[in-house]
A and B are shown apart, each in its own frame.
Chain A
Amino acid sequence: MEPLILVLQFLGDPSNLLIIALGTLVGLIVGALPGLGSVILIALMLPFVVRMDPTTGIALCAIVYCATTYGGSITAILINTPGTPAAAMTTYDGFPLAQKGEAGRALGIATFSSAIGGVLGIIVMIFATPLLSRLAYNFGPAEFFALAVFGMSMLASISGASLLKNFIGGAFGILLATVGTDITTGVERFTFGSSHLYEGVEVLQIMIGIFAGGELLRQATQTHVVRELVAEAVTKLPSMADFRSIWVTVLRASGIGTFIGILPAEGGKVAAMIAYNEELRWSKNRAEFGKGAIQGIAAPEAANNAATGGTMVPTLALGIPGGGSTAIILTAMLILGLRPGPQLFVDQPDLLAGIFGAMLGANVCFLIYGLIGAKLFSRITLIPTTILWPCVITLACLGAFSLQQSMFDIGVMIFFAVLGFFLNRHGYAPAPIVMGLILGGLIETSLKQSYLIYDGDLLRILQQPIALVFLVLSVLGICGPLIAKALGAFRDSQAEMMKGNDE
């Protein structure tokens, strides 16, 4: 009961409510702008967040994370352009329903499903995070090593076209984490004599560069795109008939979203895709999907918002980011001197109550904003990229500079912006690189510690039951897509053979 009381205390403070109201507003506006999303917004906010009181700063990140996830659905429905990647599946049925003249109904279904999914995900987060962190009390270096490897193995299924490219990106991120002075021996690695690199490359500048800078260069190729609103709609709450036909969908999708969110490296986009496909599989009116089925809007929206709570679970309990946005939140926590894990629950109960309360408040807040302000938020979409993006990239440069007052940091940011753009263009998504960058240090440290503990016999890691479970899951995570592909090819060849025999 104590965590709930702390959450209520956080929500009872008027200044916190103001932060929730403002943070949600900013998150909704940014979520409604195609190209910008929670990852870029939190990356841009980091230079400010690290100067704030830790609870307020991290809570603010959590608020905008929830709000941008919902905000992406507004543009997905009204202009057929998802504001965030997590809202991509919402376009399939949201836009067709808006084209039929029922944009208000589509927005209402999306708002309602998002809020319910988000709240359910957070309730699971409130109860699952302390439980998972208690498990972490039994973790030693071997378990942390296996856990980090498991996190990297999940790259097999995240964004990007190719499994191999995801792993190469992840390994490149791990390599970047080795730049700087080795903490065990004091030997410089990949510093090339530059004093700026003695302490390693700044994760923050890389993130700002790779996400915000990379997106700027992508936007440069899209300046000709003209966005038009299909409808100016006022959100309508779902009718009783609509409610009856989507409540099972919302519950099922929320469960899927929360579970997918808890898996390291997965996120709202994957959750929405799986929830949509599952809904399609279970639905009695499959023919309606893609033509404006309300279940086709409810499922991805409930799932991607439920995933926001889910992704926070491994981030807070184990220090393994659940997705791109949580990777940046984790970085902010580390900069603020907060180490995720079981001790956080003992030392910082206020911080956790703040995060839980802020996310809960954000979900209620965007429900209200969504009901009264969807028309306004949809208009924000029409801000020209020629005005918006120069401002965004300048803010990114100033933010990168402000952390250490160093022009070198702006150089690093620009370098990774260019690198991120070209890597992304060739199918190397930025998320695996960031995952590798964050988990690289943990993998090296825990591996070295395991080496010392087991007298150089690293195979003894396999004798630790928890570590063994994670490593088996890692193998399954890597081989799963390959096995599925091989089975699919086998089935196709069998079908071809049968067809040939019939002929």
Chain B
Amino acid sequence: MSTPSARPINRQVLIESIVIMVFAAAMYGVTYTFDKVPAILAQGIQPTAYPRAILAIIFILAAIQAVKAMRLTDIEFAELKPAKAVPPIVFKTIGLLIGFAVIMPIVGTFLAMAIFLPALAMLWGERRWLMMALSFGGFIAFAYGLFRLLMHVPLP
């Protein structure tokens, strides 16, 4: 005797929805830290009312999404594509980007650019040194002309 199989679930969307619901609930909690103002100053609507309404909407939408993710039809389940992991190169790129923002005020904008531009290109697999030198050298000169000389931006 076969047991009835469990209804297929879209786990990824379910987890996403739960994360959104937790975020909305946490932000709702944060609204309790807002200052309260006298009714006359608030003109009938406290500063918490609108964000709370939006957070409630987000929570409800995420809940509907979660319910939908747990009630997939067989056709919807068959059409699901397995989620691919985020390639490590994305995290390395994010790391380089953060590194650029960190070193910019320390070593100066243009030296930071001279380090960041070839580093990112090499991370992405570029090995044509002459092309990199000419392109990035030209770009740094262009950025210097544009931001320093033309727009007078006091870059770090």
For residue B126, which residue of chain A has the nearest CB? A386
Determine whether the beta carbon of A448 is less than 8 Å from that of B57: no
Q: How far is the CA of A171 from the CA of B94 in the complex (A)?
A: 26
Q: How far is the CA of A496 from the CA of B35 in the complex (A)?
A: 60
Taking a contact as CB atoms closer than 8 A, the residue among A187, A384, A425, A451 that contacts B47 in the complex is A187
Determine whether the beta carbon of A386 is less than 8 Å from that of B42: no
Determine whether the beta carbon of B55 is less than 8 Å from that of A402: no
Determine whether the beta carbon of B41 is less than 8 Å from that of A387: no
Determine whether the beta carbon of B35 is less than 8 Å from that of A187: yes
Given the complex, which residues of A lie within 8 Å of B117, measured CB to CB?
A: 390-391, 394
Given that A175-B55, A184-B47, A387-B131 are contacting pairs, would A394 and B101 also be in contact in the complex, using a CB cutoff of 8 Å? no
Stretch at the interface among A62-70, A289-297, A406-414: A406-414
Given the complex, which residues of A lie within 8 Å of B93, measured CB to CB?
A: 216-217, 220
Q: How far is the CA of A214 from the CA of B109 in the complex (A)?
A: 22
For residue B143, which residue of chain A has the nearest CB? A398
Determine whether the beta carbon of A401 is less than 8 Å from that of B47: no
Encoded as 1 (CB less than 8 Å from any A CB) or 0, chain B from 84 to 123 comes to: 0011011001100110110011000100010011101100
Encoded as 1 (CB less than 8 Å from any A CB) or 0, chain B from 11 to 35 comes to: 0100010001000000100110011
Determine whether the beta carbon of B116 is less than 8 Å from that of A407: no
A371 sits at the interface (CB 8 A)? no
Chain B, interface size category, equals: 35 or more
Given the complex, which residues of A lie within 8 Å of B120, measured CB to CB?
A: 389-390, 393
Determine whether the beta carbon of A220 is less than 8 Å from that of B90: yes
Determine whether the beta carbon of B104 is less than 8 Å from that of A390: no
Determine whether the beta carbon of B121 is less than 8 Å from that of A387: yes
Most chain A CB within a 10 A radius of its CB, from B41, B86, B124, B131: B124
Determine whether the beta carbon of B45 is less than 8 Å from that of A448: yes
A397 sits at the interface (CB 8 A)? yes
For residue A172, which residue of chain B has the nearest CB? B58
Q: How far is the CA of A221 from the CA of B87 in the complex (A)?
A: 7
Encoded as 1 (CB less than 8 Å from any B CB) or 0, chain A from 366 to 395 comes to: 000000000000000000111101110111
Q: How far is the CA of A341 from the CA of B48 in the complex (A)?
A: 30
Taking a contact as CB atoms closer than 8 A, the residue among A184, A216, A217, A421 that contacts B42 in the complex is A184
Q: How far is the CA of A386 from the CA of B48 in the complex (A)?
A: 47
- Shortest CB-to-CB span from A489 to chain B, Å, is 10
Total of A-B residue pairs, C-beta within 8 Å: 151
Q: How far is the CA of A414 from the CA of B101 in the complex (A)?
A: 9
Determine whether the beta carbon of A394 is less than 8 Å from that of B143: yes
Given the complex, which residues of B lie within 8 Å of A456, measured CB to CB?
A: 44
For residue A387, which residue of chain B has the nearest CB? B135
For residue A164, which residue of chain B has the nearest CB? B65
Q: How far is the CA of A422 from the CA of B15 in the complex (A)?
A: 14
Determine whether the beta carbon of B54 is less than 8 Å from that of A175: yes
Q: How far is the CA of A290 from the CA of B13 in the complex (A)?
A: 34
A9 sits at the interface (CB 8 A)? no
- 8 A Cβ contacts from A178-214 to B: 178, 182, 184-190, 213
A167 sits at the interface (CB 8 A)? yes
B149 sits at the interface (CB 8 A)? no
A283 sits at the interface (CB 8 A)? no
A28 sits at the interface (CB 8 A)? no
Q: How far is the CA of A189 from the CA of B109 in the complex (A)?
A: 33
Taking a contact as CB atoms closer than 8 A, the residue among B20, B97, B143 that contacts A414 in the complex is B97
Encoded as 1 (CB less than 8 Å from any B CB) or 0, chain A from 445 to 472 comes to: 0011001100010000000000000000
A168 sits at the interface (CB 8 A)? yes
B68 sits at the interface (CB 8 A)? yes
Q: How far is the CA of A386 from the CA of B98 in the complex (A)?
A: 18
Given the complex, which residues of B lie within 8 Å of A398, measured CB to CB?
A: 109, 143, 147, 153, 155
What are 17 A-B residue pairs whose CB atoms fall within 8 Å in the complex?
Answer: A48-B151, A168-B61, A168-B62, A172-B58, A178-B54, A189-B51, A223-B124, A387-B131, A390-B117, A391-B135, A394-B113, A398-B147, A402-B155, A410-B101, A426-B12, A448-B50, A451-B44
Closest 7 CB pairs of A and B: A386-B126, A187-B47, A182-B47, A390-B120, A402-B153, A220-B93, A386-B124
